[in-house]
């Protein structure tokens, strides 16, 4: 049975990015395992593409974004220099319809990455059997996610938004590790439950 998903706008001057992110979910399905819902037309801002490499070989393809922003949304927080995540106490989690028991609940949210950055994001050690992550046009729940944000198409600052989210076996404070520019940063996200009063993830 298909269930409808809720779409909540971020407090920005425009809700376009969130509306677009809400239309994209895991494995091309809706939040609850139904058919993919058509979303509104993407922002008219030019989406950067991978430039040709100097030696003429095919470059690593960029991860397909859903929008380009001049800066992260107001209700997001920076993790390191290149990534922004929701600054909310709890991310709403719903039944995902996934067969993987580690991906029973899904919290939909957009990952925002600085243009030109290449990041690797993974669930913290000890969480491999109870959490998954994924962003991009062909999102598949996995322990790790690799995102290559194409370089800006002009001189202005650009942040790319990617549709996806986090899956958990049960509501939890999920620790994640983000690597960029040879540096690692950790962040905790409340997926269906608050992180208040819980221990921080191990280094």
Distance between CA atoms of 185 and 203, rounded to whole angstroms?
9
Distance between CA atoms of 17 and 162, rounded to whole angstroms?
10
Beta bridge partners of 185: 178
Provide the percentage of residues in the chain whose pLDDT is more than 90.
59
Residues ≥6 apart with Cβ < 8 Å to 101: 169
Mean pLDDT of all residues in 90-103: 97
- Helix, strand and coil content of the chain, in percent to the nearest 5, comes to 5, 35, 60
pLDDT for the residue numbered 35? 30
For the chain, what are the domain ranges?
16-37+64-191
Distance between CA atoms of 65 and 67, rounded to whole angstroms?
6
Contact 200, 183 (CB under 8 A): no
> Which top CATH class is 16-37+64-191?
mainly beta
Buried b or exposed e, range 174-203, using 16+ CB within 10 angstroms: bbbbbbbeeeebebbbbbbbebeeeeebee
Which of the four pLDDT bands, split at 50, 70 and 90, describes residue 175? very high
Q: Which two tokens mark 31?
A: 């939040």
pLDDT for the residue numbered 173? 97
Q: Which two tokens mark 136?
A: 């991009």
Residues ≥6 apart with Cβ < 8 Å to 21: 66, 108, 109, 110, 161, 163
Distance between CA atoms of 152 and 191, rounded to whole angstroms?
32
This prediction's pTM: 0.70
Using one digit for the tens of pLDDT, what is the confidence trace for 11-24? 433 333 333 444 43
Q: Which two tokens mark 83?
A: 């990534």
CA distances (Å), origin 61, targets 8, 28, 89, 116 = 30, 19, 34, 12
Distance between CA atoms of 61 and 106, rounded to whole angstroms?
27
Mean pLDDT of all residues in 113-140: 94
């Amino acid at each position: 049975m298909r269930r409808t998903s809720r779409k909540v706008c971020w407090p920005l001057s425009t809700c376009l990015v969130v509306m677009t992110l809400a239309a994209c979910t895991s494995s091309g399905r809706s939040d609850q395992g139904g058919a993919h819902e058509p979303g509104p037309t993407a922002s008219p801002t030019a989406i950067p593409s991978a430039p040709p490499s100097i030696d003429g070989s095919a470059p690593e393809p960029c991860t397909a974004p859903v929008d380009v922003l001049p800066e992260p949304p107001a209700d997001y927080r920076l993790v390191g220099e290149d990534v922004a995540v929701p600054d909310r106490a709890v991310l709403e989690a719903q039944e995902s319809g996934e067969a993987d028991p580690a991906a029973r609940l899904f919290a939909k949210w957009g990952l925002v990455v600085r243009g030109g950055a290449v990041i690797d994001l993974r669930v913290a050690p000890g969480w491999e059997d109870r959490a998954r992550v994924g962003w991009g046009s062909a999102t598949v729940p996995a322990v790790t996610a690799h995102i290559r944000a194409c370089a800006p198409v002009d001189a202005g600052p650009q942040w790319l938004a990617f549709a996806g989210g986090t899956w958990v076996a049960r509501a939890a404070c999920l620790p994640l590790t983000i690597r960029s520019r040879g540096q690692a940063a950790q962040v905790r996200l409340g997926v269906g439950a608050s992180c208040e009063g819980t221990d921080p993830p191990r280094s």
